[in-house]
Amino acid sequence: MKKNFYITTPIYYASGRLHIGSSSSTLISDALKRYKKSLGYDTRFMTGLDEHGQKVEKKAASKNLTPKEFTDKLAKNAKDLWAYIDCDYDYFVRTTDENHIKQVQDVFELMLKNDDIYLGSYDGLYCVECETFFSQSEVGEEKLCPECGRPVQNVKEPSYFFRLSKYQDKLLDYINAHPNFIQPEGKKNEVVAFVKQGLQDLSVSRSTFKWGIPIKSDPKHVVYVWVDALFNYLTALNFLNDDKSLYEKYWLNSEVVHVVAKDILRFHAIFWPIFLMSLNIPINFTLFAHNWVLMYGEKMSKSKGNVIFPKTFVERYGVDAFRYYVLREFPVLSDLICTPEDFISRYNTDLVNDFGNLVSRSLSMAEKYFSSSVKRKEIDSEYISDLKNEMNNTIQVFHEDMNSFRVDKALQDINKLVSRTNKLIDETMPWALYKENKMEELEAVIYSLLEAIRVETTLYIPFLVNTTPIIFSSLGVTTGTIKDLVPYETKEFNITKLSSPLFPRENDPKKAIDEIIESMAYELTQEA
């Protein structure tokens, strides 16, 4: 039976243009989807937009738009961006979709029926920007949101509450019984420590604004945005509709991964599994929480003027260079400090000098020495044997790292193999072999270089989505799959030289940095 794989990004909050920080969650999801698909899985990749809440209502009013007009515009921008950076998602969910609204209303009624929700009154502190309730101890004497640093508001209104405290021990038992439920380990420890402090019942409705999903049995209230948003992972699979085939395939019988940033870890690691417990739905997912992308050490913010939009880099260096940088530096264990200087350095080093140059040199030698046709040759060579072992080892650790969501390490695995391949040129000096007329040994070396490039290109399939087809075509081989990747199985390469460099060198980094910063400033002036 074919295996299934369902991966999701957070649905991004509809308050403005998405930037490189948002792109990181989407790009890792895209890379993991492509990896699993290359292994033969039946894959589904879901992303979308979280469109309700007081913040959206206020932002729309400030632009003289209705909330729906405002979010329609942002939804189009988001879809355009994901297409621009070649993210191959299968479904884009919007929390204003009628299908989503109906199922969330039914969810709320089911929780009421299960006596997990009760009507009370909320009197406390609330951050409109983060759509989050906080205790006095969390905001401190200055009453500042611990997430965004903005002042919180005193809120007093009737509210429905979810009995979060009822499930505290059950959640801890689940986490303990499923040690890989929250990745990486450090994030799991954070969650456990927080839960052990004691969970308070959660306000799950608002009655002081209208932009939300009305509660069916009490339309004066709208559903709290985090109940609304979290259930998108299931409403997108029609889990409460008559046709449950998507739900059965991609939730009940699938590997499920939620990719989120660390600022929404608690919502996904605490609220979401508890909501599923309330409805007796299997907690059939792994939660992968990554850190932030920072600009010069600060979290990106339009108000601070330190935001990088993908267009800034893509227009200059291409989609694959942008994808490579974000995924190679992916912030798993620590925040990524993103700067134009680092981007250009990584681009020139990994893509131009190491991989691009390797491909160009190897194709040129194949054309020069063997008229573009290179057959497999087996000779007794310490250097070739070492390279072959490195290929096999790289494939093994690559799988381990990708299955641990460490795309950054997986790319480092390929980098290491690229370096070893380049080293073979220095060790064997093909030009010297040609002068000495050692053609059999020379063909074995050139074949090994081309075969290593084929292996590397196959492993790059989830990342360099535009470059890999060009290389396969230049090698004269069919596009393979990671599943079937075996070194030294190609019988012959029929070379076509590249018409232009895969990655043109940035020869004037200082000038480029100035122009990138100028482009960043311009992009900030553009409307959401």
Print the SS3 string covering 108-123: HHHHHHCCCEEEEEEE
- Examine residue 307 and state whether it is found in any structural domain, yes or no: no
> Residue 136 has what pLDDT?
83
Whether residue 285 sits in one domain with residue 347: no
The arithmetic mean of pLDDT across residues 35-50, rounded, is: 97
- Examine residue 274 and state whether it is found in any structural domain, yes or no: yes
- Examine residue 518 and state whether it is found in any structural domain, yes or no: no
CA distance 360 to 356: 6
Is the per-residue pLDDT at 304 higher than 70? Answer: no
> Residue 297 has what pLDDT?
61
Domain CATH number, residue 371: 1.10.730.10
Whether residue 81 sits in one domain with residue 17: yes
- Examine residue 33 and state whether it is found in any structural domain, yes or no: yes
- Examine residue 420 and state whether it is found in any structural domain, yes or no: yes
User: CA geometry: angle at 465 spanning 464 and 468, to 5°?
Assistant: 70
Whether residue 345 sits in one domain with residue 267: no
Is the per-residue pLDDT at 303 higher than 70? Answer: no
Whether residue 15 sits in one domain with residue 89: yes
> Residue 132 has what pLDDT?
81
Whether residue 281 sits in one domain with residue 353: no
Whether residue 382 sits in one domain with residue 280: no
The arithmetic mean of pLDDT across residues 125-147, rounded, is: 83
- Total tally of structural domains belonging to the chain: 2
Closest CA to 117 of 105, 133, 102: 105
Is the per-residue pLDDT at 157 higher than 60? Answer: yes
- Of 221, 256, 290, the position where a domain reaches its end is 290
Whether residue 233 sits in one domain with residue 369: no
Whether residue 78 sits in one domain with residue 173: yes
Give the residue ranges of DSSP H helices in 207-339.
Answer: 225-230, 232-235, 245-247, 265-266, 272-279, 310-317, 319-328
Whether residue 344 sits in one domain with residue 205: no
The arithmetic mean of pLDDT across residues 398-409, rounded, is: 97
Omega of the bond prior to 184 within 30 degrees of 0, cis? yes
- Examine residue 347 and state whether it is found in any structural domain, yes or no: yes
Domain CATH number, residue 267: 3.40.50.620
Residue-wise pLDDT for 414-459, tens only, equals: 999 999 999 999 999 999 999 999 999 999 999 999 999 999 999 9
Look at 125-134, 250-259, 328-337, 390-399 and tell me which has the smallest mean pLDDT: 125-134
Whether residue 138 sits in one domain with residue 251: yes
Residues in the chain: 528
Model confidence band, residue 299 (pLDDT cutoffs 50, 70, 90): low
Q: How many CB atoms lie within 10 A of CB 214?
A: 16
Q: Which helix (H) or strand (E) holds 4?
A: strand 4-8
- Examine residue 359 and state whether it is found in any structural domain, yes or no: yes
Whether residue 421 sits in one domain with residue 487: yes
- Examine residue 390 and state whether it is found in any structural domain, yes or no: yes
Whether residue 352 sits in one domain with residue 283: no
CA distance 47 to 195: 28
Q: Which domain holds residue 238?
A: 4-290
Alpha carbon distances (Å) from 395 to 385, 389, 413, 417, 466: 16, 10, 8, 10, 21
